[in-house]
Copies of this chain bind each other. A is one copy, B any other.
Amino acid sequence: MRSRRDFLQKITVSAIGLPLIQRYDTTGIQNFIHPSTQNKVLRVAIMGLGSYGTRVADAMQSSEKAKLVGVVSGTPSKIKDWQSKYNIPEKNCYNYENFDRMKDNPDIDAVYVITPNALHHDQVIRVAKAGKHAICEKPMAINAKEGQEMVEACKQANVKLLVGYRMHFEPKTLEIIRMRKEGAFGKVLFFQGLSGFRIGDPNQWRLNKELAGGGAMMDIGIYSINGARYMVGEEPIWVTAQETKTDPVKFKEGVDETIMFQMGFPSGAVASCLSTYTMNNLDRFFLNGSEGFAELQPSTGYGPIEGRTHKGKLTQPHKTHQTVQMDEMAAIILEGKQPVVPVDGAEGVKDLKIIDAIFQAVKAGKKVEVQV
């Protein structure tokens, strides 16, 4: 067995066994890029072959820069299905016991962790220790402390950690952000986010506190949190929150059904949001400024986003979010590209700090200050 020191020495050589070069890009952020992987594709293994994993795998078939080459699953039959469907070689198939061995596999660059929330922390740290870049579905963890540990583990292992914020690459969303930055809405005053759906099967992991780490907030409410931040363009300084539960059988202790929450920003802008597992198709963002407004509805669903502003309807064409995300994440990892809105681990930790504060505000029944 190798010592930790040996391990660290190995990964500073490179995740794929090639010498690293150091580069300073225009933003001053230090990036490590593998010269040999420039203009190549990011070879990705998906960990967790559930419905969202399948959606990402399908979308990746149209990606120019990311390629599905491996899988991690606890279910041999799923692995077999994926192998034949996506042409995955046996040597790139792992289970949850042996995926650390990936460190000796030069044909996998990154692992996309698409498992229940509470498992992300340990799994991402193991991926990092195997010298692979980690892409982690949101929420990146079940609290900010765990998220921060993941960030540090990836830093220490010299691998990138990205969080599956597909909306950060969505064209209509980016157009609104561009307009806000150029002052098209004037002084930003108000954001409203509705994020919810009616969840089905009461036995799914999303309703199991041990696996989900919470309820609707972790899964869908996070869209309104994250959306508030990129739409307003500031970080909140306080939150208030009110929880209600209409079905305490389906939504057990620690699994939130419906939470209304509010945030205040340094400029004086405020946000009013809803997170719910008990209402149909709530998916709307609204941004109001002194000179105009923006509306996205649907705002975060998988299908085409619809948007309008005081200047008219947004017409940027739809492209499958997960395809765009994988192309962009490949460019971030392989070419050091800087996205308009961050998708790194630090970004994920910010959302978790706010989620922590929301749960605290529900408990305390009063305003909680946050520093993200």
Residues of A within 8 A of B (CB): 189-190, 192, 194, 198, 240, 242, 244-246, 258, 260, 262, 264, 267-268, 270, 272, 274, 276, 278-280, 282, 288, 290, 293, 365-367
Cα(A280)–Cα(B291), bound, Å: 8
CB pair B262–A260 under 8 Å, yes or no, is yes
B279 and A242 contact, CB distance less than 8 A: no
Evaluate contact between B268 and A246: CB separation under 8 angstroms: yes
B244 near A270 with CB under 8 A, answer yes
Q: In chain B, what residue has the closest Cβ to A364? A: B366
Task: State how many copies of this chain the complex holds.
Answer: 2
Determine the chain B residues whose CB is within 8 A of the CB of A189 once the complex forms.
246, 258, 276, 278-279
Nearest CB in chain B to that of A245: its residue: B268
Among A190, A278, A279, the one with the most B-chain Cβ atoms within 10 Å of its Cβ is: A190
Which residue of B is nearest A186, CB measured? B280
With A280-B293, A282-B288 given, name 10 new contacts (CB 8 A).
Answer: A189-B278, A190-B279, A190-B282, A198-B290, A242-B262, A242-B367, A245-B268, A260-B272, A279-B290, A366-B366
Q: Are B260's CB and A270's CB within 8 A?
A: yes
For the complex, give the distance between the alpha carbons of A117 and B270 in Å.
28
Question: How far, in Å, is A272 (CB) from chain B's closest CB?
Answer: 5
Instruction: Select from chain B the residue with minimum beta-carbon distance to A268.
Output: B246
Chain B residues with CB below 8 A from A190, complex form: 274, 276, 279, 282
Can you offer 26 A-B residue contacts whose CB atoms are under 8 A?
A189-B276, A189-B278, A190-B274, A190-B282, A192-B192, A192-B274, A198-B290, A240-B240, A240-B242, A242-B264, A242-B270, A242-B367, A244-B264, A244-B270, A245-B268, A246-B268, A258-B270, A260-B272, A262-B262, A272-B272, A279-B288, A280-B288, A280-B290, A280-B293, A282-B288, A366-B366
Residues of B near A276 (CB, < 8 A) are: 189-190
Closest chain B residue, CB of each to CB of A239:
B242
